[in-house]
Structure 1
Amino acid sequence: MSILALDLGTSSVRGLVLDDAAVPLPGVLARRPVEVAVDDGGAATLDAAAYLAALVDCVDELHAAGRLDGVRLVSASSQWHSAVPLDRAGAPLGPLVTWLDTRPTPAAGATGPTDPRAFHQRTGAWWHRFYWTVKLPWLRAWSGPGLARFTGLPEFVLGALLTEAPMSVSQASGTGLLDLARLDWDEEALAIAGVTRAEVPPLAPAGWRGRARQEYARRWPALADVPWAPATGDGAASNVGTGCVDPTRAAVTVGTSAAVRLVQPVAPGAPLPPLPESVWRYRVDHERIVTGAAYSAGGNLFAWARKTLQLPEGEALERELSAITPGRTEVRADPRLGGDRPPGTAPAGAGTLAGLAFSTTPAEIFAGLMDGVCAMVARDLATLESTVDGMTEVVLGGGAVAAQPWWRRAFQAALAPRAVRHVDNPEVGATGAALLAAGLVPAGR
């Protein structure tokens, strides 16, 4: 048996095949880049139809190479927090708004939760532009006539490929509309968002599996009778893919963005642990929650800084950084070039640099920016640890830290005295989603 794992990312869409233990098969990967359209007004959108076409291209490539033979399950990891308005036929009424978009704002006179603290404890979210409580009214205002409902990226693309595509509790938790204990839409959140249950996706029950539409069953005959699992939020999937599935081990993942997260077992209907005001909480699945903090600066900051500062790549960059001690850089940076993730509200362009002199080198500026990300992670990890028994082990993962040894050492310095180790699997999200879909992560862990 093998597993086809789809990774619906912000900068690319990928399809890879894993063995029955959810270990990626060497070289069996199809990838298509996708372009987020950004502007100075804070827009950060994707063309939903083009994204679907890129995903289909990936599966076509694997099919043409005979790599889908023997696949017995399809899983998916997907970015959280996206939203797109649809008409009655299911066609987008505009571009898909991603987590990077900072434009959504409450309408004049709009009000948030009656009790913000209770709302945060219940949904794990805030009344914030990041979530559907603010995004959906804002999208409705410019969508025009014909609006029928809203959905997220994975439900849009899987809805085109499958006979039905309900939203997983993992993806639903990222909207900020889900009651995390009851595993149902939160009535107050729906009211704040100005939507009915008919205007948001149905929720997938535990164990739900889908099937390919007839046209895609014919196109990919190896998948004709294969079950598809609903999409897991990429952050939750990354924790599982790095083995961070209990409160003793925290994951720090640096992909396009960065995050620090801690998973705990919480069954449906069980009381939720207390939630500090400064961190969010979502669902991994029906049996687990994930608590954490995320940042708009990650691999995107790394790529921007290297290009803007005209630094070399690979070993040449490592040589330039070798004389700089992590955590002791003269340059001090606030790396929020893309603004804040919730609960912060700083807009894009909030990044700053200090401590510059005529003698400052591009490598020192680069190191200061990377140290700035490490400092944010260290602060929020301490908050997460306040909710569990003692200091955690830390597992670093994601393509950006895999590509930069100096940055790994900077994280180790910032997170000391914790034990910090690195997992160099660049597909931790896809791996984690496959492990969950295949039932290879025991309940209660």
Structure 2
Amino acid sequence: MSILALDLGTSSVRGLVLDDKAAPLPGALARRSVEVAVDDSGAATLDAGAYLAALVDCIDELDAAGRLDGVRLVAESAQWHSAVPLDKAGAPLGPLVTWLDTRPTPPPGATGPADPDAFHHRTGTWWHRFYWTVKLPWLRAGCGPGLSRFCGLPEFVLGALLTEAPMSVSQASGTGMLDLARLDWDEEALAVAGVSRADLPPLAPAGWHGRLRPEYARRWPALADAPWAAPTGDGAASNVGTGCFEPSRAAVTVGTSAAVRLVQPVAPGAPLPPLPGSVWRYRVDHERIVTGAAYSAGGNLFAWARKTFQLPEGDALDRELAAITPGKGEVRADPRLGGDRPPGTAPSGSGALSGLAFSTTPVEIFAGLMDGVCAMIARDLAVLESTVDGTTEVVLGGGAVAAQPWWRRAFQAALAPRTTRHVDNPEVGATGAALLAAGLVPTGPAAR
């Protein structure tokens, strides 16, 4: 048996085949880049139709290479927080709004939840432009006639491929509208967003599996009988892919963005653990929660700096960075070029540099930016550790830290004296989704 894992990311869509233990098979990877449309207004959108076409291309490539033979399960890791308005036929009424978009604002006169602290504890989120409680009214105001309902990226693409595509509790938690204990839409969140249940996707029950539509079953006969698991939010999947599915181990992942997260077992209906006011909480699945902090700067910052400063490549860059001690450089940076993730409200363009001199080199600026990301994560990891017993072991993962050894050393310095190790697997999200879908992750007792 093998597993097809799809990673529905922000900068790319990927398909890879793994064995029955969720280990990636050599050479069984197809990737298509996708372009986020950004502008000075704070827009950051994707063309949903083009994204679907890229996903289909990936599966076509694997099929043509014979890599789908023997696949008995399909798993998906998918970006959280996206939203797209649909008409009655399920066609997009505009571009898909990603987590990077900073434009949504509350309607005039809107006041948000009556008790913000209680709302934060129930949903793990805030009344913030990042979440559907603000995004959906803003999208509705700009849609005009013809709006029928809303969905996220995974529901849109899977809705085209499968006979049905309900929203997983993991994806629903990323909307900021799910009651994390009851595993149902939060009534106050619905009211704040000005929507009814009919405007939202139905929620997938525990153990749900989908099947390909007949036309795609004919296109990919190797997948005709394979069940498709409900999608896992990319951050939660990355934690599992790095082996961080217990509260004693924190994951720091740097893909397009960066995040630090802890997973805890919490069964449906069980009381939720305390939640500090500065961090969010989502669902991994019906049995686990994930608590953490995320940042708009990560691999995208790496890519921007490399292009903007025309940095040396490969070994040449490593040699220049070797002369800089992590955390001790002259350049200090606020890396929030893309603004804040919640609960912060800083807009896009909030990045800053200081400590510059005429002798400052582009590599020193680059190191300062990477140190800035490490400092934010160290601060928030301390907050997360206040909710568990003692300090945590830290596991670094994600494509950006895999590509840059100096950044790994900078994280080790910033997070000391904790034990920090690196998982050299750039596909931790897809791996984690496959582990969850195949039932290969142990479930401990529910948190009390």
TM-score, reference length from structure 2: 0.99
Matched residue, 2:233: 233
1-structure distance, mates of 2:267, 2:88: 36
2-structure distance, mates of 1:416, 1:367: 18
Tell me by how many angstroms 1:107 deviates.
Answer: 1.2
Asked if the contact 1:314/1:404 (under 8 Å) is kept, the reply is no
2-structure distance, mates of 1:132, 1:309: 36
Moved more, 303-312 or 389-398: 303-312
Deviations 1:133-154 (A, max 9, x none): 0000000001110100000000
1:326 is the counterpart of 2:336:
no
SS in 1 for 2:182: coil
Matched residue, 2:219: 219
1:67 is the counterpart of 2:75:
no
User: How many residues are treated as equivalent by the alignment?
Assistant: 445
Matched residue, 2:337: 337
Matched residue, 1:22: 22
Matched residue, 1:284: 284
Q: What amino acid sits opposite 2:380 in the alignment? A: D
Matched residue, 2:55: 55
Deviations 1:395-436 (A, max 9, x none): 000010111111100000000000000001010000000000
SS in 1 for 2:228: coil
Asked if the contact 1:282/1:291 (under 8 Å) is kept, the reply is yes
Tell me by how many angstroms 1:91 deviates.
Answer: 0.3
2-structure distance, mates of 1:139, 1:2: 40
2-structure distance, mates of 1:428, 1:189: 32
Asked if the contact 1:232/1:433 (under 8 Å) is kept, the reply is yes
Deviations 1:282-339 (A, max 9, x none): 0000000000000000000011111111111221101011110001111110000000
2-structure distance, mates of 1:46, 1:28: 26
Matched residue, 2:112: 112
Deviations 1:23-82 (A, max 9, x none): 000110010000000000000000000000000000011111111110000000000000
Tell me by how many angstroms 1:13 deviates.
Answer: 0.3
1:358 is the counterpart of 2:365:
no
1-structure distance, mates of 2:375, 2:331: 13
2-structure distance, mates of 1:21, 1:132: 36
1:164 is the counterpart of 2:132:
no
1:35 is the counterpart of 2:35:
yes
2-structure distance, mates of 1:98, 1:211: 27
Asked if the contact 1:338/1:349 (under 8 Å) is kept, the reply is yes
2-structure distance, mates of 1:305, 1:215: 44
Alignment of 1:25-424 (within 5 A): 25-424=25-424
Asked if the contact 1:398/1:426 (under 8 Å) is kept, the reply is yes
Q: Give identity over the alignment, percent.
A: 88
2-structure distance, mates of 1:403, 1:70: 32
Asked if the contact 1:314/1:403 (under 8 Å) is kept, the reply is no
Tell me by how many angstroms 1:119 deviates.
Answer: 0.2
Moved more, 292-301 or 360-369: 360-369
Tell me by how many angstroms 1:363 deviates.
Answer: 1.1
Asked if the contact 1:3/1:18 (under 8 Å) is kept, the reply is yes
SS in 2 for 1:431: helix
SS in 2 for 1:338: coil
Asked if the contact 1:258/1:295 (under 8 Å) is kept, the reply is yes
Deviations 1:70-106 (A, max 9, x none): 0000000000000000000000000000000000001
2-structure distance, mates of 1:422, 1:314: 19
Moved more, 432-441 or 309-318: 309-318
Q: What amino acid sits opposite 1:239 in the alignment? A: N
1-structure distance, mates of 2:410, 2:313: 18
2-structure distance, mates of 1:196, 1:313: 52
2-structure distance, mates of 1:313, 1:391: 36
1-structure distance, mates of 2:255, 2:355: 28
Tell me by how many angstroms 1:198 deviates.
Answer: 0.5
- What stretches of structure 1 of length at least 5 have no aligned partner? none
2-structure distance, mates of 1:396, 1:164: 36
Tell me by how many angstroms 1:165 deviates.
Answer: 0.3
SS in 2 for 1:207: coil
Moved segments of 4+, more than 3 Å: none
2-structure distance, mates of 1:369, 1:442: 37
2-structure distance, mates of 1:83, 1:198: 16
Tell me by how many angstroms 1:6 deviates.
Answer: 0.3
2-structure distance, mates of 1:230, 1:202: 12
RMSD, aligned α-carbons: 0.6
